């Protein structure tokens, strides 16, 4: 009796255990046993962000993942299959545009990707039937989608440029669109790309200026707004300057007129003035007001630069020789700050505004230079003092030596 009760309890327990096991995903089970393209999704999907969030193939493709027969992929059972290129945005947006659904996974996640995409050049062209343009999967991947924060993701900030370049740098693929294909190459030479390469993830890449889902080239009039999202002060000064109206009148695209667009290199002071490297002389000619102002600004910046270099040189020599000049070095950072502010104020294109700052910098650098010169004078006087002291010491040692010899010679006699 006791044995039969145990047997029944074991059967009941195993039945209960079987009912508690997770349902089998027949999509993965069958596709992983296949070969080629039909097997690829099941292998890639394991690392996919959707799989990590607990979603299955059927959550996107429909069908019945519990059915082990081919009926699992019956359209009658809701199987949607693989979407065509022009169906992709709506396919993804089924979930990604559903705030209530998406916030179950991440309350901060945006759900406007589709609406933004439809405003983009890519979205508009796709609607018109151009299937060469980028849709969701072209940038994010298909069954191997990774979070943006994952360094392997094609949309991770450091990878964005090469993801865009995949199409935009291919002259054959881009043929017929009438846009250049050297943006990525030029961007790689920019100060922005250099910062990104150094690990500064806040440095701009393609999507920072063009938008991501709503990707569109900034128009001539909105360039300053794009640059101004980061370079706030420069844009504010530019907007108050005489160039604002002049550029608008001449149809110049703001910042990029002087700084270029994709190949935005680190600016140098020689860009201002009348030297061959200057960007001012592309519009201004000798004798006009802008030309004179550019020359004055260039002279003032050069003055401050040479004052700074002179002070730094003398302080470095003093420091190398062991003199305590840390206060003077700290003060010199104020002169460096003045140089930075003067360079920002170049965007006022007002030579008097720039001179106010360069003059204050020159004054501070002058004081630091004097402190360095005083330190070197002090170093020299210390060395002279040492020389005199050493002569006295050598004389004392010589005197002692003679005294000992004299004393011991007397004793020996």
Partner 1 sequence: MATLYRKTLNWLDERFGAGSVEEFLRHKTVPVNRHTIWSYMGGITLFLFIIQVLTGILLLLYYRPTPNDAFESVQYIMTQVRFGWLIRSVHSWSANLMIFTAFVHMFSVYFLKAYRKPRELTWLSGILLLFILLGFGFSGYLLPWNTLSFFATKVGTEMAGSVPGIGKWLLVFLRGGQEVTGATLTRFFGFHVAVLPGLATVLLAMHLLLVQRLGMSVPPSVERAIAEGRATPRSMPFFPNFLLRDMIGWYAALGVLGGLAAIFPWELGTKADAFAAAPAGIRPEWYFLFMFQTLKYLPAKILFLEGEFAGLLGFGAAAAVWVLVPFLDRRIGFGRVTRFFTGLGIFVIGFIVVLSALALR
Positions in 337-396 near partner 1 (CB under 8 A): 382-383, 385-386, 389-390, 393-394, 396
Q: Does 406 bind partner 1 (CB under 8 A)?
A: no
Alpha-carbon 235 to chain mean position: 20
Taking the complex as a whole, the smallest distance from the CB of residue 369 to partner 1 amounts, in Å, to 17
- What number of other Cβ atoms are within 10 A of residue 383's Cβ? 11
Residue 209 and residue 218: Cα distance in Å, rounded?
A: 8
> Of 214, 330, 346, which is closest to residue 290 (Cα–Cα)?
346
Note whether 103 and 118 are within 8 A (CB): no
**Cβ distance to partner 1 smaller for residue 258 or 376:** 376
- Answer yes or no whether residue 404 interacts with partner 1 by CB under 8 A: yes
Site string for partner 1, 268-297 (x = CB under 8 A): ------------------------------
CB 372 within 8 A of CB 314: yes
Q: How far is the CB of 307 from partner 1 (least distance, A)?
A: 23
29 sits near partner 1 (criterion: CB under 8 A): no
Q: What is the DSSP string of 10-26?
A: HHHHHHHHHHHSPPP-H
Contact 49, 95 (CB under 8 A): no
In total, the chain counts a number of residues equal to 413
Rule CB under 8 A: say whether 11 interacts with partner 1.
Answer: no
* Contact call for residues 354 and 301 (beta carbons, < 8 A): yes
CA angle 72, 73, 78 (to 5 degrees): 95
Taking the complex as a whole, how short is the minimal distance between the CB of residue 394 and partner 1, in angstroms? 7
Question: Which of 4-12, 88-96, 230-238, 404-412 is the region at the interface with partner 1 (rule: CB under 8 A)?
Answer: 404-412
User: Which CB sits closer to partner 1, 199 or 276?
Assistant: 199
- Contact in structure between 217 and 178 (CB atoms under 8 Å): no
Min separation Cβ 314 and partner 1, Å:
16
Tell whether residue 240 is a contact of partner 1 (CB under 8 A).
Answer: no
Contact criterion met (CB below 8 Å) for 301 and 360? no
CB of 338 to partner 1, least distance (A): 24
Site membership for partner 1, residue 199 (CB under 8 A): no
Q: Residue count at the site for partner 1 (CB under 8 A)?
A: 21
- Judged by the rule CB under 8 A, the positions of this chain that interact with partner 1 are 322-324, 326-327, 382-383, 385-386, 389-390, 393-394, 396-397, 400-401, 403-404, 407-408
């Amino acid at each position: 009796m006791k044995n039969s009760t145990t047997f029944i309890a074991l059967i009941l327990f195993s039945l209960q255990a079987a009912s508690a096991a997770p349902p089998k995903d027949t999509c993965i089970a069958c596709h992983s046993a296949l070969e080629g393209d039909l097997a690829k999704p099941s292998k890639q999907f394991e690392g996919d962000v959707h799989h990590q969030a607990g979603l299955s193939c059927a959550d996107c493709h429909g069908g019945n993942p519990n059915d082990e027969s081919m009926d699992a992929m019956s359209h009658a059972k809701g199987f949607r299959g693989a979407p065509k290129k022009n169906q992709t945005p709506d396919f993804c947006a089924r979930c990604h545009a559903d705030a209530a659904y998406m916030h179950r996974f991440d309350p901060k996640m945006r759900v406007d990707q589709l609406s933004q995409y439809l405003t983009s050049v890519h979205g508009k062209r796709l609607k018109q039937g151009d299937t060469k343009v980028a849709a969701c999967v072209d940038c994010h991947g298909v069954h191997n989608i990774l979070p943006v924060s994952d360094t392997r993701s094609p949309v991770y900030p450091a990878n964005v440029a090469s993801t865009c370049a995949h199409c935009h740098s291919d002259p054959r693929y881009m043929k017929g669109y009438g846009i250049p294909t050297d943006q990525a190459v030029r961007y790689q030479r920019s100060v922005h790309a250099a910062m990104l390469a150094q690990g500064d993830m806040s440095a701009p890449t393609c999507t920072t200026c063009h938008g991501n889902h709503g990707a569109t080239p900034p128009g001539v009039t909105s360039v300053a707004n794009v640059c101004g999202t980061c370079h706030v002060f420069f844009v504010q000064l530019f907007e108050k300057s005489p160039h604002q109206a002049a550029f608008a009148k001449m149809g110049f695209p703001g910042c990029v007129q002087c700084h270029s667009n994709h190949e935005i290199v680190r600016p140098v002071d020689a860009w201002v003035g009348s030297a061959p490297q200057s960007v001012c002389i592309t519009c201004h000619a000798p004798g006009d007001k802008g030309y004179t102002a550019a020359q004055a600004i260039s002279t003032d910046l050069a003055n401050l630069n040479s004052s700074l270099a002179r002070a730094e040189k003398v302080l470095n020599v003093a420091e190398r020789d062991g003199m305590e000049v840390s206060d003077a070095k700290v003060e010199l950072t104020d002169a460096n700050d003045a140089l930075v502010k003067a360079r920002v104020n170049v965007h006022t294109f007002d030579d008097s505004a720039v001179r106010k700052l360069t003059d204050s910098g020159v004054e501070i650098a002058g004081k630091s230079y004097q402190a360095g010169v005083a330190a070197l004078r002090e170093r020299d006087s210390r060395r002279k003092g040492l020389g005199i002291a050493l002569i006295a010491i050598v004389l004392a040692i010589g005197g002692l030596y003679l005294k000992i010899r004299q004393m011991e010679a007397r004793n020996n006699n």
